[in-house]
Amino acid sequence: MTTATAIAAPTNLVPTGSGGHLAWQPVTSFNDDPAQVSTAGTHHAAIRFGSSDLIVNGVTFSRHTGGGAFANGSPITTTAPSVASLGTGGTGNYGALVSTGGFHNNTSSPNMTLTGLTVGRRYQVQLFMPYWDTLWTTQFGAAGGSSVVVATGKAGFLSPSVCTGNFRATASSQVITWSQVPPNSFALLAAVSVRLMPDESVMTIAENNAPGATVDTLLAVDANAGSTHTFSLVSGAGSADNASFSIVGNTLKINSVADFETKSSYSIRVQADDGSGGVFSKALIVNILNVVEVPEIVVEQPAATNLTSGTASIAFGSVALGAPGVAKTFTIRNMGNGNLTLSNPTVSGGQAGDFIVSTAGLLLTVPPGGQTTFAVTFNPGNSGTRSTTLSIGSNDADESTFTIALTGTGTGTPTTELSVELNGTDLTSRVAAWGRNDNGQTTVPAGLKDVVAVAAGHEHTLALKKDGTVVAWGSNAHGQCDVPAGLPAVKMIAAARWHSLALTTAGNVVMWGDDNEGAFAVPAGLSGVTAISTGGDHTLALLSDGTVTGWGDNSDGELNIPAGLTGVLAIAAGEHHSLALRGSDQKVIAWGFNGNGQSTVPTNLNLVTFIDASGNQSYALNNGGVVNAWGDNTQGQI
């Protein structure tokens, strides 16, 4: 309960006539009710005088017959302890007085100009109306015209009243007008006050904010002057996103980084407590402002040395033919405020085959402020100056293809290529076969030539010709030799126990023969394949992003590809085990059946350039030309 203090007598009260008298009396109404205030309500100070007129601070008040009580324009409002409203306001304080004024009620279309307004903020207008039986209208625009009405209120005969309304500012300066019906001929003074109100429910914050960023300042308005409030997030209507925010003092903070594209608006419920039993809660909205997100690619080599697209050149120096290649690491940074999307770096032109790109660990999406790396190894295939162009594609609008010139020098003598003839017949690119031949698997078709690759299955053989066509012979009990008609150009072949596979130049895999009721069928949608290898009943595929996939039999874990295996350069499939050559360190990774040690890679095996696998054996060629083998050796296989 709030009790009003005694109302001090006004000063500068001057009667204008003789014989007049003045008496100051605090009252709760103009009916001379007791002045003691103990409940909520509006209370007024009144002046009762006799036969003379009255001047208050230079304004003349005329008496009417019989005398009466006249308001001084300063109502006193009291309420029981409670939080009246809750909102947000930045640096503004709700209830702060913006403007005051007054006018005589017999003025034609009285008005006042409000200045210093904040566009979009809401303000309260209070008009304290002198007594008379008239209806007042507070509005924007000309009286009686097409105006926006703010509030209406009626002052009864000898009963003044307060007309209260609110409006949202549409300009920093606005004219507000009043009208009364019927017009009053008495020159009574009406008092006006305009106060700032809190924004009722909506706050905003731009996306990509720092975690813990301030959203806005919380404000509570209590009719009891001097009340202080504590704020908290509470459950109830509109509290769905409370967990995303926290309150420190009277500051609302967002806990994590906001992303407009993921979530554009949050709903929270805040409670204000005045510490005296008065609480008030309200649902508030936090809208996320969309920020134009632009990535900015920066490429470094070495680290911290920025390169310029189109003019940058990286020299690898001299490398002896057959010696270990020289690797350089490139760093990609995103200096923008939007995600940077990359495509795998590629080399093209010149001697591109001498520069091997390893994307092990490369992130194809780099967040703002993030970075990723990839490597290029120069391994010349011939002596002399070697060069190519490295290209990095991204969604950076002005550097969508970042190009860098790569150069290096090969030294030494290249390997000589031989052409073999027998009795005048060129044996180059021809096939020779031997061993078991019960199904004709080693009987090479007459006239077969221009062969670039061969593959042997359990009882059948495949040959790939340089024109991209495939020839098959041997057992066809399961259709493994029925090469599909219209097979697109092929760049790699593999033969399993009773089925055959081909990798087309488009990066697709085609299978024919026994599919074991679909178990050996190529997975739907598989594309971007750069190499294939098949064992007894399982197949591996190397993808263009350096990862490995597989299908078929997994009875011994031969398809359990190690987690995180990326940057793979080559693959090989044994009977029930698998191998991969990792480009970042040129080491062999093995998994699957290990009954003969075929999946236990020698610890001292380094700088591997080629791998292969047979039934229960594994093979690796290092850069020094040394062949390493491990696994089953019961028949002297290794």
Residue extents of the structural domains in the chain? 13-78, 83-196, 202-289, 299-411, 448-631
The answer to whether the CB of 26 falls within 8 A of the CB of 6 is: yes
Which of 578, 559, 571, 587 lies closest to 616, judged by CA? 578
How many other CB atoms are there within 10 angstroms of residue 442's CB atom? Answer: 17
pLDDT at residue 413, as a whole number: 63
Three-class secondary structure of residue 233 per DSSP: strand
On whether the CB atoms of residues 515 and 551 are closer than 8 A, the answer is no
Contact 623, 581 (CB under 8 A): no
**β-strands 54-56, 59-61: how paired?**
antiparallel
CATH class of 299-411: mainly beta
Distance of CA 352 to the CA centre of its chain: 37
For domain 202-289, the CATH architecture is Sandwich (2.60)
Q: Which two tokens stand for residue 314?
A: 């990286």
Cβ neighbors of 625 (< 8 A, separation 6 or more) are: 322
**CB-CB contact of 479 with 513 (8 Å):** yes
3-state helix, strand, coil in the chain (%, to 5): 0, 45, 50
Q: Which residues of 337-414 form beta strands (DSSP E)?
A: 340-341, 346-348, 355-358, 365-366, 371-378, 384-393, 401-411
Q: Do residues 476 and 498 touch, judged by C-beta distance below 8 A?
A: no
- What's the pLDDT score for residue 114? 80
For residue 459, give Cα distances in angstroms to 441, 442, 502: 6, 9, 17
Strand-pairing partners, residue 561, are none
Q: Is 215:203 a contact under the CB 8 Å cutoff?
A: yes
Helix H, strand E, coil C: the string for 236-279 is CCCCCCHHHEEEECCEEEECCCCCCCCCCEEEEEEEEECCCCCE
pLDDT at 124: 72
**Among 429, 494, 489, CA closest to 460:** 494
The phi and psi torsions of 354 (rounded to 5 degrees) equal: -85, -5
CATH topology of domain 448-631: Methylamine Dehydrogenase; Chain H (2.130.10)
Closest C-alpha to 607, from 579, 627, 585, 580: 585
**Spatial separation of the C-alpha atoms in residues 131 and 158, rounded to whole Å:** 5
The helix (H) or strand (E) run that includes residue 539 is strand 538-543
Is-same-fold flag (83-196; 448-631)?
Answer: no
What's the CATH code, domain 83-196? 2.60.120
Provide block-wise average pLDDT over 10 residues at a time, the chain (638 residues).
33 40 36 31 40 46 40 36 41 50 66 76 71 65 54 60 69 78 63 64 79 83 69 94 95 91 92 83 86 89 93 94 86 91 92 86 87 92 92 94 96 58 55 86 87 89 90 93 91 90 90 80 88 89 90 92 91 94 89 94 88 91 86 86
Structure tokens, 82: 């409670």
Q: How far is the CA of 14 from the CAs of 22, 56, 71, 104, 432, in angstroms?
A: 9, 7, 16, 19, 131
Contact 88, 283 (CB under 8 A): no
